[in-house]
Amino acid sequence: MKKNNRFKKFSFYFIMILIVYAGIELICFAFIALGFLPASLPDFKFQSTVTEYPVQVADIDSNWGTWHYTGNHRFKKKCFDITYSINSYGARDVEREKISTKQNRVVVLGDSFLEGYGVDSGQRVTNILEKLTGREFLNFACSDFGQTQAYLVYKNLASSFDHSTVLIELFPFNDFKDDNIQSPTINNAKRYKPYFVLKDSTYKLTYSSASVKESELNKESYFKTENTFTKKITRFAKSFSVTANTVSYFWHRKIAFSEKNSFSYYYQYSEDELQKFFFLIRQIKLLAKNKNIVLLVIPTQDDVSVYNKEMKSKLSTSLSEFCKAEDIKLLDLLPFISSQKTALYLDCDGHWNVEANWLVARYLKNQF
């Protein structure tokens, strides 16, 4: 009799749990389907063993860390699904000859914006500029790059290609932070990144890890982590449960919110950060010798919002004075971007969409 009662009680609670869970599933589905919650719906395609690396970069170079695996790689997010074609040097570009009879080639250094994050290579600003000007733009930009990495990739690779101009991108939103060894990495993952640290009034190159093999941003580490039992259970839940996808959305939204800067680096930065940036640009200029140096500064939507209220920028003034003294051509996009009324950014991301790449390329055309 007691066993029968326990079974009835267990069955009652089990059925109640199922009803509550079904209700939560229905509510989550309604919010997502009606567009109130931008979370993903389950695709009912469970992959037990992960075999594809979904990140477009990895810490694989012993000199500058972050770089691309050669070959073709699929890169997918909610608002885009593209293929990155990486040449034999690890750059997202077509194959380029080091020795060239063309004297007006431009070496491009920068981060994800000039890499063409989220758009086909033919629709990014450097490829468009190549079509509009007839000049070759050798693209060595890479996501996650700061100015230290830009300097090192130029010193150890890009400078060996014939060129007459060096185009350097500055993205104030994270370039100052990326060159600070004290800045936390994404999800606190162990990385292999180079930094210049001020010691005894001299900047000295150091690395966050003793070896590139210690980094957790690479295929080997990713596959090892994603194919654990815990990760498999998580993937299974997201494949079949609306609730699991909703929880995942709010978890990642919390991380993104905690990492989001609440101010504009066009207005708030330290003098030490600025002086380190000036040091790195001077190092590139020394390597480039008599070549033309162009500094392209890219704002975020938040930068634009602040600028539309202030109508002037502390950083823009400092950069203008520095570039004038160093004979560097400054192309600050803040006023231009601020004047645009069209949508310039990807729906699911803060990078330029195709329209923005074309708009900026046409604006820059006469500068080259």
- Is 60 exceeded by the pLDDT of residue 297? yes
**Residue 208's pLDDT band (cuts 50, 70, 90):** very high
Report the pLDDT value the prediction gives residue 256, as an integer from 0 to 100: 45
Choice between 182 and 293, residue whose per-residue pLDDT is larger: 293
For the segment 180-199, the average pLDDT, to the nearest whole number, is 81
- Is 50 exceeded by the pLDDT of residue 238? yes
For the segment 225-234, the average pLDDT, to the nearest whole number, is 90
- Is 70 exceeded by the pLDDT of residue 63? yes
- Is 70 exceeded by the pLDDT of residue 188? no
- Is 60 exceeded by the pLDDT of residue 2? no
For the segment 285-303, the average pLDDT, to the nearest whole number, is 95
Q: Of all residues in the chain, what percent carry a pLDDT higher than 70?
A: 94
Q: Of 74-88, 93-107, 133-147, 260-274, where does mean pLDDT reach its minimum?
A: 260-274
Q: What is the mean pLDDT of the chain?
A: 90
pTM of the predicted structure, to 2 decimals: 0.86
Burial class (CB within 10 angstroms; exposed 0-12, middle 13-18, buried 19+) of 232: middle
**Residue 248's pLDDT band (cuts 50, 70, 90):** confident
**Residue 35's pLDDT band (cuts 50, 70, 90):** confident
Q: Which of 30-34, 92-96, 260-264 has the highest mean pLDDT?
A: 92-96
Q: Of all residues in the chain, what percent carry a pLDDT higher than 90?
A: 63
For the segment 210-229, the average pLDDT, to the nearest whole number, is 93
- Is 60 exceeded by the pLDDT of residue 54? yes
- Is 90 exceeded by the pLDDT of residue 150? yes
**Residue 258's pLDDT band (cuts 50, 70, 90):** very low
Choice between 254 and 88, residue whose per-residue pLDDT is larger: 88
Q: Of 86-100, 239-253, 286-300, where does mean pLDDT reach its minimum?
A: 239-253
3-state SS, one letter per residue, for the chain? CHHHHHHHHHHHHHHHHHHHHHHHHHHHHHHHHCCCCCCCCCCCCCCCCCCCCCCCCEEEECCCEEECCCEEEEEEECCEEEEEEECCCCCCCCCCCCCCCCCCCEEEECCHHHHCCCCCHHHCHHHHHHHHHCCCEEECCCCCCCHHHHHHHHHHCHHHCCCCEEEEEECHHHHHHHCCCCCCCHHHCCCCCEEEEEECCEEEEEECCCCHHHCCCCHHHHHHHHCCHHHHHHHHHHHHCHHHHHHHHHHHHHHHHHHCCCCCCCCCCCHHHHHHHHHHHHHHHHHHCCCEEEEEECCCHHHHHHHHHHCCCHHHHHHHHHHHHHCCEEEECHHHHHCCCCCCECCCCCCECHHHHHHHHHHHHHHC
**Residue 187's pLDDT band (cuts 50, 70, 90):** low
Report the pLDDT value the prediction gives residue 77, as an integer from 0 to 100: 86
Report the pLDDT value the prediction gives residue 255, as an integer from 0 to 100: 45
Report the pLDDT value the prediction gives residue 358, as an integer from 0 to 100: 97
Picking from 287, 141, 267, 147, the residue whose alpha carbon sits closest to that of residue 203 is 147
Choice between 310 and 195, residue whose per-residue pLDDT is larger: 195
